[in-house]
Structure 1
């Protein structure tokens, strides 16, 4: 009977390992997909004549990345959300059975309150970062100067409002994606007895991001070499 119990326990352990591997692969695929995802706003350039030459008339697009802030919102949110517990730990962990210990456990990095605050702060920092990095007024003014316009929207305030609306939607989706990637390992850590199995989502985003950037850099180098060889 002990052999059967050991065999069933080993099977359960292997099942957990298999589920974790499948989960990690799914997470990597999801991160790769979102990392390259972008919303392309169509832009049309008006025709204008300079001397005898005709300029403009071509159509292009304004790319807006879904995750334009990278892992910065996660890093900021994690630092601030874990600050009270970190300070409290330096002062001294409260004794068991006290009210202070109950509060300490409630705001601990494994608690539900911490996860909720962490998630909300990720969304907040994502909006903050996108507002700094991508200014709809500046983009609209640059388009106007270059003779470009978004089909269906007049230059000026209508264009700014449309770009801002799209930016808010994209940022919300990107922020929720970052929140899910950051929270999932914490949720897995609560269900799995071994905390070491809960792999950080932030680390996966950084590793996948670096790998994709390296591939792009290699592709551009190969393309440059081919053009150089062709010209010579």
Structure 2
């Protein structure tokens, strides 16, 4: 028995050693990612690039720079981050529910999902080439404050070098994210985006405390910001865990001599089924006019584009109204794509399950669709509140501390998934330990 206990202890330590190795692998991968964010693309003046980006604040550039952890402002190898892969995956996910051929491919199992993932990778490479080439061409004519050119030697050679470097950086991050998913804990791509967002948090905190020290922000405003941040983070966690459980009953079945009693289960429907997709799409569309006005303002004499940009700038009433409408619209659109009420009703009918008081088939589909519509309405209003809070804080409290919106949603969702993965590893360790103890007790009684 002593040898058995020693074997159980050593296997337990081995299990914890595996978890520790996985966590260390995640940490090492994130360190490699952060180092790559400081390696500039050949041919670019990093100081001039940073000065120009800071002078042209706002627009979609700031949002992508936040996701890349400042890599875009430095125009480093990881300037595009994994955003081309995320965009390609979202488009492919939508195409699966629209195109019958891709939908049939998904139903083939693991082989079909691998093909769809391969298509997403190819799409990511194409998007990286297009985005990298567009940025490289636009940077050739840009100058930093003081007349310092951003690019040392503009021309075709620089454009090709930048495209190859940025595309290679995106492909490397795709590979690194897959390695983290396989050998680490959690989703690798999500953790890379999480690291990019969190990387800017210390600077924002220092900037806020400097504002209090300089007198541009009061201590009361700082305390209020801290209370709002903690309270709203708790609110986001609560809403992300929220779900509507529809009771499902399974009919009594007779199997040989055994009769199976009625079983009751639940069909869980998340409150925010669309996730962070609606805020990302809405913010990208709204930020595009401002970014286009910044990049083309010096080369065009038109006045309508700056007017539209000013009207849609953050803090303006029109910006808040349009942002809320886009988020609500994308929430309903994306939820309708990822969840098919009729298919769910058919699966329940095939498995002999029914919702109490609802007839199987079309009536069940209509009932689920009605519940999902009400949930999506509440979830979209929750997304609107989260995304508009930063603008209210900046306008009313006069703070530059970035909080809320898409970044908060991504951070909360990734942290929740990361903790769930660690708990799953710990639970599997406890389950295996209980099985080994039971086997040891059974062998002892046999003797």
Partner of 1:78: 283
Q: Structure 2: how far apart are the matches of 1:176 and 1:190?
A: 21
Q: CA 1:130/1:100 → structure 2, altered by over 3 Å: closer, same or farther?
A: closer
- Taking the aligned partners of 1:150 and 1:32, their CA distance within structure 2 comes to 29
TM-superposition CA deviations, 1:153-211 (whole Å, max 9, x none): 010121111100000000111111011000110121122334x2242322111112111
Using structure 1 for the length normalisation, give the TM-score: 0.88
Is contact 2:345–2:360 with CA below 8 Å preserved after alignment?
yes
Matched, 1:208 2:405: no
Q: 2:268 maps to what in 1?
A: 63
Q: Which residue of 2 aligns with 1:143?
A: 348
Q: CA deviation at 1:135?
A: 0.8
Q: How many residues were matched structurally?
A: 221
1:19 aligns with 2:224: yes
Which one of 202, 223, 228 corresponds to residue 427 of structure 2?
Answer: 223
The structure-2 alpha-carbon separation of the partners of 1:130 and 1:104, relative to structure 1 and needing over 3 Å to count, comes to closer
The 5 Å alignment of 1:1-232 reads 13-55=218-260, 57-92=262-297, 101-194=306-399, 196-232=400-436
Distance across 2 between alignment mates of 1:67 and 1:100: 35
Distance 2:360 2:420 in 1: 35
Whether the 8 Å CA contact 1:46–1:148 is kept in 2: the answer is yes
CA distance in 2, matches of 1:99, 1:62: 51
Of structures 1 and 2, the one scoring higher in RCO (CA 8 A, sep 6+) is 1
Deviations 1:82-107 (A, max 9, x none): 2122212222079xxx7765443212
CA contact (8 A) 2:387 2:405 kept: yes
Give structure 1 stretches of 5+ with no counterpart.
Answer: 1-8
Q: CA deviation at 1:10?
A: 5.5
Cα offset for 1:225?
0.3
State whether residues 37 and 65 of structure 1, in contact with CA within 8 Å, keep that contact through their aligned partners in structure 2: yes
CA distance in 2, matches of 1:83, 1:56: 59
TM-score (norm 2): 0.47
Q: Radius of gyration: which is bigger? A: 2
**Secondary structure at the residue paired with 1:68?**
coil
Comparing 81-90 and 24-33, the one that deviates more: 81-90
Measured at CA, do residues 206 and 122 of structure 1 come closer, stay the same or move farther in structure 2, by a change above 3 Å?
same
Within 2, Cα distance between the matches of 1:174 and 1:225? 36
In the alignment, the residues of structure 1 paired with residue 335 and residue 274 of structure 2 have an alpha-carbon distance, to the nearest angstrom, of 6
Instruction: Return the alpha-carbon distance in structure 2 between the equivalents of residues 121 and 11 of structure 1.
Output: 34
Q: Do the aligned partners of 1:67 and 1:171 also contact (CA within 8 Å) in 2?
A: yes
CA distance in 2, matches of 1:140, 1:35: 25
* Change in 2 beyond 3 A, CA 1:35/1:57: same
> Does the aligned pair in 2 maintain the 1:46–1:57 contact within 8 Å?
yes
Do 1:69 and 1:130's aligned partners in 2 also have CA atoms closer than 8 Å? yes
